[in-house]
């Protein structure tokens, strides 16, 4: 029995998915696991003092890092 694979997104999305793309319009770096994404966020904090958050992308189903939202 052949195993079905999750469909891969096309290179040109139909609409802009903000969680998947940077402000410049390029795709964000994908991480396979939450742990990898959190490690990358910690490295950004250590090297540059940038506070980033790891989250699961609804577009590509991988993990990305991005700026934290504040409710101030």
- The values of phi and psi at residue 21, to 5°, are -120, 150
For residue 12, what pLDDT is reported?
46
Residue 64 main-chain phi, psi, to 5 deg:
-130, 170
Whether 6 is covered by a domain: the verdict is: no
What does the pLDDT read at residue 65?
A: 94
pLDDT of residue 53: 93
The total of structural domains in the chain comes to 1
Q: Which structural domain, as residue segments, surrounds residue 59?
A: 16-72
Whether 41 is in a domain gets the answer yes
CA angle 64/32/54 to nearest 5° reads 30
User: What are the pLDDT digits (tens) for 6-54?
Assistant: 555 544 444 556 667 888 888 889 999 999 999 999 999 999 999 999 9
Distance of CA 44 to the CA centre of its chain: 14
| pLDDT: which is higher, 3 or 46 | 46
| Coil, helix or strand at residue 31 | strand
């Amino acid at each position: 029995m052949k195993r079905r694979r999750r469909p891969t997104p096309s290179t040109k999305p139909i609409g802009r998915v903000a969680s998947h793309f940077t402000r410049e319009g390029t795709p964000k770096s994908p991480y396979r696991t939450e742990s990898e994404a959190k490690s990358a966020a910690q490295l950004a904090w250590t090297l540059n003092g940038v506070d980033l958050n790891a989250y699961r992308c609804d577009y590509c189903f991988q993990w990305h890092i991005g700026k934290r939202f504040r409710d101030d």
